[in-house]
Structure 1
């Protein structure tokens, strides 16, 4: 009896997403980016790295050299379309790895800080204050300069700077939820702290954290692009959208498309993430979900 309403709400999500055209378009854009990140390197990896000096700085929409040059060619004659598609893998890998790592670590520390006693909470929160006291970009510059630029190091340093966001949010949510009746009832019935946290508190906190992670994904992707643009991020022969913008900067007056297309990919992806995160915030909030449900049923 209790599973049917939950299943109905879950099945209603695609319908509500379809009714919100901006959110649906954002989901389509993100799906295309995800497919490019998964299959792009296998299909176009060789094409994206092969040089053709005859096609050097080829203008966009000139199909004389083939459909791969629809976005033009770069300074070494490599097709921009193939490079933008292949670069999606490293860009998404860094952003997804950093957000997932920060989400797991920050949530675990926040659950402990919110449920345990004052001393444990103070130690954990002071650790977060120390991390937040330094500018995130400065930490990234210093760490990458010491450890060197690689995908793993980029994920590590960006994850460290984002952990306090999830830690503080989780702690605040847990401190409020642990006083609710259903949590107190579970404790009175002899449930262990681990069971209370994982079975009763975490499911209530999870929608908020997922929404923050979706929004934070865009921030991390912009941070990676900024580091690559500064020359301390991913290094050639690996490519990311931020690195492509950096490589196209000297040609802005003569070949604007070298920086424009990867920059457009960054803008569309971050905009889609922001729009979808706003939709998710409403869809996962029982107090506001009725707006999407009413819109869906009204238009249906």
Structure 2
């Protein structure tokens, strides 16, 4: 009975410790709450507000901010076709988050897998993988995305694939550098002496040491990919109407900046706040996942208590 309950107790204790450290950093706490709201909007928004976000009402063209005479959804104003901006921002969060999350997940999985091979293997394969990363990094990521999307149709899947390819070298090089350092530690050498297989050493001993760094980079990279997708949509080669993203909404409001600034302001503000929240949360994760610096958050909680 004791052996079966001990892992559950340790998991609950670790979860409480993480939540306590998050509570001690108020900026990270607010950022986490905001990101949870954005995720809920991305999941539930299209299901609840899809009709309101696409229904046109030419009488409400460029409705002013806080003009709720047509309903509470017009609290942020209306766009050039009379559609409520609040509903469109909430619905657009799905595509924006989907592209960013998909690109980060694919690049992290592929890049970390290649980085583990390049760092642990002493064969010619590691050099081939590094040269592949050099080829990808030789092209500016946004320029490469522009060229590929001009050749292919700018669909959600193609955008995710292109942005993922451009971010693979970040995870590949980071993972390789971490593995080169971890594989020389004593516990890895002891596992080798005891006859552990390469697969067991990589996934049981090396990967858990590398994973916190990769998660921190992924949080930062999420904001970069989201900005890249917004830039592509702003240039007109990202997701195309009738699909919407925050970047596309900013582009659609550009002709009306002089007389209806809110068309671009609110989706631009959503991009800024989401990016800022991701950066704040990434900074907290860097401290919380580092045993050398974690004491700062723990001591802060004791002082507050």
The verdict on a shared fold, with TM-score over 0.5 as the criterion, is yes
Offset at 1:147?
1.2
Match of 2:114 in 1: 109
Match of 1:150 in 2: 155
2:281 aligns with one of 266, 272, 276: 276
1:193 aligns with one of 198, 205, 211: 198
2:55 aligns with one of 44, 50, 56: 50
- CA distance in structure 1 between the aligned counterparts of 2:10 and 2:241, rounded to whole angstroms: 52
- CA distance in structure 2 between the aligned counterparts of 1:188 and 1:30, rounded to whole angstroms: 46
Offset at 1:5?
6.5
Match of 1:126 in 2: 131
Offset at 1:214?
0.3
Match of 1:164 in 2: 169
**Structure 1 residue ranges (4+ consecutive) displaced by more than 4 angstroms after TM superposition:** 1-7
- CA distance in structure 2 between the aligned counterparts of 1:284 and 1:16, rounded to whole angstroms: 11
Offset at 1:221?
0.1
Match of 1:204 in 2: 209
1:239 aligns with one of 239, 244, 252: 244
- CA distance in structure 2 between the aligned counterparts of 1:6 and 1:197, rounded to whole angstroms: 23
Gaps of 5+ in 2: none
Scaled by the length of structure 2, the TM-score of the pair is: 0.96
Which has the higher mean CA deviation after the structures are superposed, 91-100 or 1-10?
A: 1-10
SS of equivalent to 2:202: helix
- CA distance in structure 2 between the aligned counterparts of 1:191 and 1:299, rounded to whole angstroms: 46
Q: CA RMSD in A?
A: 1.3
1:293 aligns with one of 291, 294, 298: 298
Offset at 1:69?
0.2
SS of equivalent to 1:112: helix
Offset at 1:19?
1.6
Match of 1:182 in 2: 187
Q: Could you give the per-residue CA deviations for residues 185-226 of structure 1, whole angstroms, max 9, x where no partner exists? A: 111111111111001100010000000000000000000000
- CA distance in structure 1 between the aligned counterparts of 2:241 and 2:14, rounded to whole angstroms: 47
- Residue 35 (structure 1) aligned with residue 40 (structure 2): yes
Gaps of 5+ in 1: none
- CA distance in structure 2 between the aligned counterparts of 1:201 and 1:128, rounded to whole angstroms: 22
Offset at 1:184?
0.9
SS of equivalent to 1:58: coil
Q: Pick closer, same or farther for the CA change 1:6–1:201 going to 2, 3 Å.
A: farther
- Residue 260 (structure 1) aligned with residue 265 (structure 2): yes
Q: Could you give the per-residue CA deviations for residues 146-185 of structure 1, whole angstroms, max 9, x where no partner exists? A: 1110000000000000000000000000000001111111
- Residue 79 (structure 1) aligned with residue 84 (structure 2): yes
2:28 aligns with one of 11, 23, 35: 23
1:70 aligns with one of 56, 75, 86: 75
Match of 1:90 in 2: 95
Aligned length: 300
Offset at 1:9?
3.7
- CA distance in structure 1 between the aligned counterparts of 2:148 and 2:194, rounded to whole angstroms: 48
